[in-house]
Structure formats: structure tokens, C-alpha cells
């Protein structure tokens, strides 16, 4: 099963300057629980946004740069190569926007955190059309944290 894991604002923004434009500890915990022990496919910019590789997960980095390497990264240059490296079993695709676009037609499930605000950003993912919503858990705003919803989408 190939699943996407992302947080997306109501206006489509998923990032700004290589970072999330919000801080939602519950989203980070959910991401960790859903990706632990699984290979994660990501783009180079996503990998480089981490202070170090995330423990307990393989980091398969899809990049056009044939010279790029980094400690903790398994490098692939095509979507097929990335999926072959990941092997059989569950595969987590974690971004960024270009990687989601490249692999959308192969995804089985989307684990989405809808962040209910409209921040400025430079990385945007369009709404996922043509998917069935199979689960939703809404959370109200608290202090500086915006309202958000955990949503699971499955392919129709």
C-alpha cells in the first residue's frame, strides 16, 4: 500500500521556506506513528528540511541530481526506482509537492491533516479530488494553534 502523509492548509500551502508554517504537536505524533518502521519516499528538499534522518524509518530520496548523496539517504532518480528501493509492504510518501504530484496516480490512501488557516507559503498541493473520505477527526483551535482535522482518504 502506498500512502501519502501530509499537513495541508485550507489554501493548499504545505510549506514556507522549507518549514511548516504552523506547529501542531498532535500532527507530528500522528505522522511518527503512521510512518514508524516504514520506508519513506521524499524529495531532496524534504529530506534536507530535517535536522537529521528520522529514527526508525528508511529515507528514500527522489532527486534529479545524479551527484547528490547524504548520510541516511537512499537515493533514487525515478519514481519507479524509489518504489523498487522501498520494496514490498507499506510505503509512506511524505512530500514535497512535486513528489506527491509524481506519485498521485499510484497512491492508495492519503493521511491528511487539514490545517484550518490560510498562511503564506511557497509549497502548495491542490485539493485531492475524486477520493473517498473514510475517516475524519476534528480538533478546535487552542491558544496559538489553529483548528485542524485528521482526515483519511481512500481511492474511489
Distance from chain centroid for Cα 86 = 16
Task: Provide the domain limits for residue 60.
Answer: 2-155
What predicted TM-score, i.e. pTM, was given to this entire model? 0.95
| CATH code, domain with 15 | 3.40.430.10
pLDDT in tens, 6-58: 999 999 999 999 899 999 999 999 999 999 999 999 999 999 999 999 999 99
Cell numbers that stand for 53 in this block: 534522518
Flag whether pLDDT at 137 surpasses 90: yes
Query: How many structural domains are present in the chain?
Result: 1
Check residue 119 and report its DSSP letter: -
Cell numbers that stand for 35 in this block: 510512518
The Cα 7–Cα 13 span in angstroms is 9
Exposed e or buried b per residue across 19-37, where buried means at least 16 C-beta atoms within 10 angstroms of its C-beta: ebbbebeebeebbeeebee
pLDDT score, position 156? 87
pLDDT score, position 118? 96
Beta bridge partners of 3: 92, 109
Using a pLDDT cut of 70, give the percent of the chain over it. Answer: 100
Q: Tell me the average pLDDT across 138-150.
A: 96
Distant-in-sequence, close-in-space partners of 71: CB < 8 Å, separation ≥ 6: 53
Amino acid at each position: 500500500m502506498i500512502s501519502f502523509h501530509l499537513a495541508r492548509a485550507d489554501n493548499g500551502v504545505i510549506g514556507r521556506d522549507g518549514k511548516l508554517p504552523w506547529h501542531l504537536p498532535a500532527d507530528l505524533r500522528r505522522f511518527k506513528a503512521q510512518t514508524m518502521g516504514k520506508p519513506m519516499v521524499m524529495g531532496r528538499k524534504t529530506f534536507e528540511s530535517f535536522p537529521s534522518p528520522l529514527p526508525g524509518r528508511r529515507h528514500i530520496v527522489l532527486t534529479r541530481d545524479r551527484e547528490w548523496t547524504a548520510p541516511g539517504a537512499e537515493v533514487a532518480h525515478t519514481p519507479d526506482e524509489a518504489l523498487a528501493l522501498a520494496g514490498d509492504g507499506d510505503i509512506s510518501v511524505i512530500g514535497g509537492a512535486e513528489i506527491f504530484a509524481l506519485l498521485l496516480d499510484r497512491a492508495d490512501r492519503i493521511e491528511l491533516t487539514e490545517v484550518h488557516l490560510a498562511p503564506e507559503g511557497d509549497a502548495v498541493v491542490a485539493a485531492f479530488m475524486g477520493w473517498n473520505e473514510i475517516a475524519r477527526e476534528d480538533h478546535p483551535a487552542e491558544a496559538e494553534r489553529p483548528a485542524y482535522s485528521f482526515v483519511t482518504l481512500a481511492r474511489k
